Chain A
């Protein structure tokens, strides 16, 4: 079970995660991830996500005919909740909300819960385009999840433990990102995919007028779009203890390095997004099954052989 963590960390976690998500969204707006923004200053662009959030809070909620409102709202609410629960096992460099013996599996389980929730959100409004959005994500799930799971497993294998703090401890000399680069790359790729963001924003794609979020306005919309940023921030933060040595580094304290590394991973993801169009399901799925799954398996085999000979 989880070790005792200071109680104050529990309420701080969602707030910190939200702040991180807002900062990430602001950075995305400044570098023009969405689209161009001539005429707007840096400050105006950076505050755009926050303003949009406030605007959505004040906006009327919208219902569609014969909708399964209850189910849709469960789905909407579950996305940010799952993101926060997943973030609970991320060490902050000096404290960790929870450090269960199966932290890695827990993180993955929460991501998968968000995945199932997106489908609910798409199913709820009783609308074709929104259903297509949710359906896309669902059908894509295994192609995203299997390489993701193998990448996570490889990190656990390298540390011979599923406990996140022990994975950090095992990177005393060498970061996992250095000697298991394939797992790290696949983790980043599938982490973005599980957050259905950027090049993997297919479930909420513009070609289906917003997909799963097409029929939602107001708070509902905020929950799903905001939840997506929370998920992305949580997965980026989790890559630090898994592959980048956690809070380890010279000069700065542990939390400083954790923050810095998380910000760097997020920045890389956001900048890379601008280079790519949305990767469509049928193309990526075959790629995932034919290339990524074997790749991660070979990587896991390599790590297993190294660990056995240690």
Chain B
């Protein structure tokens, strides 16, 4: 009973704030509405007994949404969202894409031949998750992690305005890096 109530409340808030993301005319509000929605999803996972995943979602999504705030300030030094704005662009196209994706997913849920449950849930889902990730899937995960990390590094390298040769000289021997604002270690 209690679980059902919590589930309903959390899902209602999650969907409601998800809708509000597109209704708000301020980027800050939209970002934090999305955060609220994701926090509720984290709560739902906790409700399912996946404590670790749920709390990690809360942690990571908060960080992610806050980092979006950094960009918001960079591109739009607009405290309190003075200028009303809409994040809806290309409404028709977006509506079509949304509808198609929704239909596909709903069809998938309804039509997929779901297997029957085999076995019982693990005592410690966190441990089970860790073992399933780090056990048989270890190689996959490590490859994936490496690929992701090198993508990040490569993107930063391509995008950066000033590389290490600009900072430390052509032979990389400068004692202190030449930065617009000097940092705390000088590297």
Please give the residue numbers on chain A whose beta carbons come within 8 Å of chain B beta carbons, in ascending order.
1, 66-68, 71-72, 74, 100-102, 105-106, 108-109, 112-113, 115-116, 119-120, 123-128, 130-131, 135, 138-139, 141-142, 145, 162, 282-287, 290-291
Contacts and interface: CB of A to CB of B under 8 A. Distances in A.
Interface stretch (B76-84, B94-102, B103-111, B146-154): B76-84
B174 interface: no
A68 B80 contact: yes
Contacts of B183: 282-283, 285-287
A14 B42 CA distance: 24
B63 A1 contact: no
A105 B55 contact: yes
B22 interface: no
Contacts of B49: 1
Interface stretch (B13-21, B28-36, B132-140): B28-36
B63 A112 contact: yes
27 contacts: A66-B80, A66-B82, A68-B28, A68-B81, A71-B28, A71-B32, A71-B80, A74-B32, A101-B124, A102-B126, A106-B55, A109-B55, A109-B56, A109-B62, A112-B62, A112-B63, A116-B35, A116-B63, A119-B69, A124-B80, A135-B69, A141-B66, A142-B63, A142-B67, A282-B184, A285-B184, A286-B183
A120 B124 CA distance: 36
B78 to A, nearest CB: 9
Main SS of chain A's interface residues?
helix
Contacts of A66: 80, 82
A120 B65 CA distance: 11
Contacts of A123: 28, 69, 79-80
A102 B97 CA distance: 39
Nearest to A75: B32
Given A68-B26, A116-B66, A120-B32, A131 B77 contact: yes
A196 to B, nearest CB: 14
B80 A113 contact: no
Nearest to B72: A123
B118 interface: no
B9 interface: no
B187 interface: yes
Interface string B69-93: 1100100010111100000000000
A99 B85 CA distance: 44
Nearest to A120: B32
Contacts of B157: none
Contacts of A162: 52, 126
Nearest to A132: B73
Contact of A115 (B56, B66, B79, B181): B66
Given A1-B49, A116-B35, A141 B184 contact: no
